Amino acid sequence: MKQPTVIDNVETYACATRILQAGAPWFLNLGTKQSSGTKLVCVSGDCPRPGVYEVPFGITVNALLDLIGVNDAGYVQMSGPSGEAIAPKDFGRTIAYEDLSTGGSTMIFNQSRDVLDIALQFADFFVDESCGWCAPCRVGTQLLKRELEKIVAGRATLGDIRAIDFSCANRRAHEPLRPRTDRPQPILTTLKNFPESYEARLRPELFVPAVDLQIALRDAVSVQGREPVAQRG
């Protein structure tokens, strides 16, 4: 007793109760061939009826949105910050192990939301949540956040997008601790499913410095009351 086990969670108790009530064959007929039964989905965000819903596996994102009364979703985040960002074109996908496998957390964002602003908040969350033990996570989360900040600020180029792809791939290859593939997810999945949000922020130049010198020196210039003297080569 009082030991953490696979059965000591609300979802297992909910499924076990239904099986005891209606029988295993009835439960197995719910869902899909590879994902039988039901799933508890915790819905939050821009929706009139947030809460915890028990739905059969195989339900589409569209059907879930109808169930909770949402008609203006612009972005659905499945399985929390470390999950997948779903664009409206993919709302026909199903919640099942063979398609959208989810821990249950489902965040709804309406069409007025800025996808990159949300991704940046998730990136900041992973910076705070890093235990700091291994360098790929301790340093990698900081670098990804800075790269995304540059894009959000409208100072990025196509080269910065390539740098983010490289950083994410490098982190996945070298981070030893779980969940090693989760932390780049807010960037990777929004980049994949909302490319237009990134493209709209890119500059046409081949390279833009990460630091704007004028902005960096603004406070010092204000205090001293004079512009910096240009250095001669």
**pLDDT of res. 175:** 55
Q: What is the DSSP letter of 58?
A: T
Parse the chain into domains and list their residue ranges. 10-110, 115-210
| pLDDT (average), residues 166-172 | 70
Q: Is 73 helix (H, G, I), strand (E, B) or coil?
A: strand
pLDDT above 80 for 171: no
Tens of pLDDT, residues 68-117? 999 999 999 999 988 999 999 999 999 999 999 888 899 999 999 999 99
Helices (DSSP H) in the chain: which residue ranges?
Answer: 10-22, 24-28, 61-67, 115-129, 135-138, 140-152, 158-174, 185-193, 195-199, 213-216, 218-224
Highest mean pLDDT among 41-50, 95-104, 120-129, 165-174: 41-50
Average pLDDT, the chain: 86
180 pLDDT tier (thresholds 50, 70, 90): very low
pLDDT above 70 for 198: yes
182 pLDDT tier (thresholds 50, 70, 90): low
Residue type (1 letter), 36: S
CATH C-level class of 115-210? mainly alpha
Tens of pLDDT, residues 199-221? 999 998 888 877 777 777 888 88
* 142-146, 197-201, 224-228: least confidently modelled range: 224-228
Q: Which residue has the higher pLDDT, 208 or 24?
A: 24
Q: Is 165 helix (H, G, I), strand (E, B) or coil?
A: helix
- Residue 25, Cβ neighbours under 10 Å: how many? 8
| pLDDT (average), residues 28-33 | 92
pLDDT above 60 for 140: yes
CATH no. of 10-110: 3.10.20.600
- Same fold for the domain at 10-110 and the one at 115-210? no
**pLDDT of res. 172:** 61
% of the chain residues with pLDDT over 70: 88
- Pick from 106, 96, 146: nearest CA to 126: 146
